[in-house]
Amino acid sequence: MALKFEVTKESEKTRARLGTLETKHGYIETPVFMPVGTQATVKTMAPHELEQLGVEIVLSNTYHLYLRPGSDLVAEAGGLHSFMNWNHPILTDSGGFQVFSLGKLRTITEEGVEFRSHLDGSKHFISPEKSIQIQMELGADIIMAFDECAPYPADYEYVKESKDLTTRWAERCKAAHTRTDQALFGIVQGGMYKDLRRESARELMDMGFPGYGIGGLSVGEPKELMYDILEDLVPIMPKEKPRYLMGVGSPDCLIEGVIRGIDMFDCVWPTRLARHGMVITRQGNISVRNLPYARDYGPLEEGCSCYACQNFSRAYIRHLIKANEVLGIRLTTIHNIAFLMRLMKDIRSAIASERLLEFRDEFFSEYGGKK
């Protein structure tokens, strides 16, 4: 059994639930946020630092690793866990979203996607079978079906065809997947059309995947629309399978997603933000590059127990970032990941004590942003 998911508590007031996800490389408590290590490294971080922050699973990108250093090389190194020295669960995406994001550099056909590398312009072709082959070589615990992600906005006909293609590709992915120590998730598409989302979910459920991604959200649409889609979609998804909202990771979306029944999230947002000197705090996000912090000798966030906050001041971190010193973005990255790990822990505690809605209100009253 590649994956064992157990729902340990269902909230009575919301669709939120607590669960445990068991993989060959360890347990994960859900709801979980997965930091992104695009190129086999969570940017600026060493693996033991992720462990210290309580990170239980990271995501890595098939598209990037296929191009560099090559999935055959990673396989030769003993797989991604061994290559990056991360002996905990890993999830790889399918490359679908990255290839989709290339815009004019790619052509989609029934067979797959032809695209040009963003690195050197070289021509490549990824089919559902090829994506699965690469992901089997990388050897993550959870891998994703190769999908087409419709843009936003897009008209109904386009999204329907795209969703149908994603369904056919999911079937091909399933047929191509032979590693028994990996779980292959299907990805629900259907854009902002509820009926297409439901159709997509039912088609994938008929194939029977051990978990389901929800793709094609947080692509530019208003957050309310995303929440609306989730409210309609999640109730028809199987209770006993993990639900993974792809590419979503701001505090408000995490809380609102969990309330609507999501178990897993990933996003480059907290780590990318950190590299721009943006710091997540309970009182909202701040740009530590700004002048008011030049002589601020307090921590990034009052009360935070992370290494950055326990040892360094805003003034020092601002200096480092202004001076392009790597330690600066290491420290903001550590803090932002610590923040999200603590948020997910607080969310899980709030589910356990049936206080999630109160937690949301308390959080937003301080943090600001939409409920």
Contacting residues toward its own copies, per CB under 8 A:
39-41, 43-47, 68-69, 73, 76-78, 83-85, 294-295, 297, 307, 311-313, 315-316, 318-320, 322-323, 325-327, 329-330
Nearest residue to 58 (alpha-carbon basis) of 82, 31, 78, 86: 86
Provide, rounded to whole angstroms, the least separation between the CB of residue 280 and its own copies: 20
Find how far residue 25's CA is from the centre of its chain.
18
Active site residue 206: no
Provide, rounded to whole angstroms, the least separation between the CB of residue 85 and its own copies: 5
Catalytic residue among 228, 266, 346, 361: 266
Q: Which CB sits closer to its own copies, 309 or 356?
A: 309
Q: Which CB sits closer to its own copies, 62 or 200?
A: 62
Q: Which CB sits closer to its own copies, 316 or 363?
A: 316
Bridge partner residues of 113 (DSSP): 108, 126
Amino acid sitting at position 153: P
Tallying the residues shown for the chain, one arrives at: 371
With 0-12 / 13-18 / 19 or more C-beta atoms within 10 angstroms meaning exposed / middle / buried, residue 1 is: exposed
Q: Which CB sits closer to its own copies, 7 or 77?
A: 77
Q: What is the CA radius of gyration of the chain?
A: 20
Concatenated DSSP letters for 136-157? HHHT-SEEE-------SS--HH
Find how far residue 285's CA is from the centre of its chain.
20
DSSP element (H, E) containing 194: helix 194-207
Q: Which CB sits closer to its own copies, 80 or 143?
A: 80
Nearest residue to 269 (alpha-carbon basis) of 29, 42, 31: 42
Provide, rounded to whole angstroms, the least separation between the CB of residue 333 and its own copies: 9
b/e code 114-130 from CB counts within 10 Å (16+ = b): bbeeeeeeeebebbbbb
Provide, rounded to whole angstroms, the least separation between the CB of residue 217 and its own copies: 28
Provide, rounded to whole angstroms, the least separation between the CB of residue 76 and its own copies: 6
139, 79 contact by CB (below 8 A): yes
Nearest residue to 33 (alpha-carbon basis) of 4, 58, 6: 58
Active site residue 228: no
Catalytic residue among 72, 93, 141, 155: 93
Active-site residue numbers?
Answer: 93, 266
